[in-house]
Amino acid sequence: MRFQLFYILATFFIISSCDTEDILPAITLDVSDLQFDENYVDSIQITASINVPADEDIDLTILTNGSATLDDDYSISSSSIIISEGFSSGSVSIVLIDDLESEGDENIEIDISSAGNFLFLNPQVSIIIIDDDFDTDGDGIVDVNDSCPETAGPVEGSGCPDSDGDGIYDNEDQCPDEPGDAENSGCPIVDTDGDGVLDGFDDCPNEPGPAQYNGCPSPQIVINEVLYDPPTPNNLGDANGDGTREPQEDEFIEFYNYGGDLDISGWSVHDNAQERHIFPEGTVIPAGGVLVLFGGGTPTGTFGGSIVQVASEGILNMNNGGDFVTVYDSNDISILTFDIEPLSNNPDESYTRNPDITGEFEQHAGIVEANGALFSPGTRVDGSNFN
């Protein structure tokens, strides 16, 4: 009997000494992941959790440390985490700042503390920021901003050196291994043919020619296609795309420039009878570019992105029975000719070079690549763009 009484009293004493009021609430700190790329765009959530709902607001002070710098490498939404009364967690967010400095990987150390009486099971987390800015050549300019990412150079040269020491950095020097002059894009001043046009700007560096023709004895331009007999009926002969076949307006001459940019302002087009067109001021056919001259109307369409003009005299008037087209430059020197006489067979289609640019003139629809098309103003015979 005495033993039983002792057992009961001992049991009561043990239970009383383990009252839950003596057990501290436990707080842990957590993060969704432990490493992030520097260019990570979403916010990173830092969460503090308590093992029982808070009986009052809990203010947890945040202390940040580590090699990453606050406001330079990252920002944080608050200096504390609040676990509100009745809740079991609270959080703050961190946003990474993607800079353009090669700093290597960095880290953020996050600690929490409180004036309250809590058991901190995991009060610290560490986040690694993985640097995405590489500086391959070690010149202090990250690759994304470095015009020469594999060769060290100064900021003034956008990361490129001046290999030949001519004062022109390699990214702007067309001859980076040979000293030259700025006016010749970093290349030596050389005029092989002695025509006054430096080789770097001379379309024909071994043949003397005027600057007007980019250093060539004659301009690098050809007549590539001519329509002097627009086909009938109306739906087939509307070459200028304005909705109506008008035999004079739908005539066209297609010019192709296979040299450098060519200014043909003031040039003129004549038939056997008279002047039919003067190219207006500012007419420049770019390198590899096309100009299509129609007899009239309102040309409608893309025409392969070519320059499109209509005859300034209102008509080209190329005679189906035989005519001769001449193009003169601004000095009235004959530059191009097209003789209709040997092709005067009322073809109801254009004559075009086959192959384009370099070939002899053939009737358009008879060329396999034309796929039956009767003309192709502004484009190659197969309808594709020249550029």
Dist. CA 64–CA 73, nearest whole Å: 12
Per the domain annotation, does 163 fall within a domain? no
Per the domain annotation, does 277 fall within a domain? yes
pLDDT tens digits along 27-61: 999 998 999 999 999 999 999 999 999 999 999 99
Q: Beta partners for 89?
A: 49
For residues 27 and 68, the answer to whether their CB atoms sit within 8 Å is no
Q: Beta partners for 293?
A: 253, 309
- Which of the four pLDDT bands, split at 50, 70 and 90, describes residue 345? confident
Dist. CA 48–CA 90, nearest whole Å: 6
Q: What's the distance, Cα to Cα, between the start and end of the chain in Å?
A: 112
What pLDDT does residue 233 have?
80
Q: Which of 130, 149, 171 is the last residue of a domain?
A: 130
Same domain, 104 and 239: no
Same domain, 242 and 355: yes
For the chain, what is the largest distance between any 2 Cα atoms, rounded to a whole number of angstroms? 145
Query: What's the CA angle centered on 272, arms 278 and 286, to 5 degrees?
Result: 35
Residue 92 domain boundaries: 17-130
Dist. CA 316–CA 270, nearest whole Å: 8
Q: Which of 113, 130, 147 is the last residue of a domain?
A: 130
Dist. CA 84–CA 93, nearest whole Å: 17
pLDDT tens digits along 146-175: 999 999 999 999 999 999 999 999 999 989
Average pLDDT, whole number, for the chain? Answer: 91
Residue type at position 230: P
Per the domain annotation, does 243 fall within a domain? yes
Same domain, 229 and 357: yes
What pLDDT does residue 22 have?
58
Same domain, 246 and 366: yes
Same domain, 233 and 364: yes
Per the domain annotation, does 8 fall within a domain? no
pLDDT tens digits along 272-310: 999 999 999 999 999 999 999 999 999 999 999 999 999
* Burial per residue of 330-356, b for 16 or more beta-carbon CB atoms within 10 angstroms, e otherwise: eeeeebbebebeebeeebbbbbbbbeb
Per the domain annotation, does 177 fall within a domain? no
Tell me how many domains the chain contains: 2
Question: Among all chains, which residue has been given the structure tokens 């005067």?
Answer: 344
Dist. CA 168–CA 120, nearest whole Å: 63
- Which of the four pLDDT bands, split at 50, 70 and 90, describes residue 23? confident
Residue type at position 199: D
What pLDDT does residue 104 have?
84
The answer to pTM > 0.85 is: no
CATH number, domain with residue 334: 2.60.40.1260
What pLDDT does residue 2 have?
38
Same domain, 110 and 232: no
What pLDDT does residue 245 have?
94
pLDDT tens digits along 255-270: 999 999 999 999 999 9
Per the domain annotation, does 226 fall within a domain? yes
Tell me the three-class secondary structure of 294-349, residue by residue. Answer: ECCCCCCCCHHHCEEEECCCCCCCCCCCCCEEEEECCCCCEEEEEECHHHCCCCCC
CATH number, domain with residue 49: 2.60.40.2030
* Burial per residue of 168-201, b for 16 or more beta-carbon CB atoms within 10 angstroms, e otherwise: bbbbebebbeebbbeebebbeeebebebebbbbb
Per the domain annotation, does 198 fall within a domain? no
Per the domain annotation, does 178 fall within a domain? no
